[in-house]
Amino acid sequence: MSNDALILELATGLALLAGLSCAVATRSFAPPASPRRGMRITFVMSGMVMIAGLVVASSADGAQPLLDRLSPAHGMLCAAAIIVLSMPMMGALAVLMRRAAPANPRQSALAAGFSASTCGALVFTICCPMNDPLYIMVWYSAGVAVVTAVARWLLPKRFRL
């Protein structure tokens, strides 16, 4: 499979995931809404995007050693770039969350962090030099996990429980 096709598949999956997670996050800011069901759907969809990436990718990359496929030096830079690119979206969602009245600030913060991180990963997809599905699963997931955890930890502190 060509690099362009793999990048297009990744960008499409991330765009769908980012759109869904943004909808779940903004909907969770309303008082009666709970993001629990939407987050389940979002996590299932993220798993499906990862599986689709593995299925669509060619098996030719499997012949390389694991360390070469993971490329830790580039991977840490990719994860850091996703974290940095997620910050403006997380800030915007934090402002929206602050102005709204979420019934469950912790769950809303989790949804906002996941949403911001998938948007950051989508933006980073354009300039990522690597296209190995294993690399993308590991390092993109690391960046998304860090942003989601930071949002879950930081954002609810701005609310009175």
- Residues 64-95 pLDDT 10s: 777 777 888 888 999 999 999 999 999 999 88
d(CA 55, CA 41): 21
Mean pLDDT of the chain, nearest integer: 82
Q: Which residue has the tokens 């690399």?
A: 135
Write down the pLDDT at residue 80. 94
- In whole angstroms, give the CA distance from residue 59 to residue 61: 5
- Can you tell me which residue has the tokens 């993001």? 35
Whole-number percent of the chain with pLDDT over 90: 25
Query: CA 80 → CA 19, 45, 130, 140, 147, distances in Å?
Result: 22, 24, 15, 10, 10
Give the tens place of pLDDT for each residue, 105-133. 888 888 999 999 999 998 988 887 777 77
Distance CA 68, CA 100 (A): 46
User: pLDDT at residue 57 above 70?
Assistant: no
Q: Provide the 10 A C-beta neighbour count for residue 32.
A: 6
pLDDT value of position 100: 83
Phi/psi at 51 (nearest 5 deg)? -65, -40
- The pLDDT value recorded for residue 60 is 45
State the amino acid at position 46 in one-letter form: S
Q: Per-residue pLDDT averaged across 143-152, rounded?
A: 92
pTM to 2 decimal places: 0.83
Domain ranges of the chain: 3-61+68-158
Q: Are 27 and 36 in contact (CB under 8 A)?
A: no
Predicted pLDDT at 147: 94
Contacts of 113 (CB under 8 A, 6+ apart): 90, 147, 148, 149, 150, 151, 152, 155
Q: What is the pLDDT of residue 113?
A: 92
113 against 53, higher pLDDT: 113
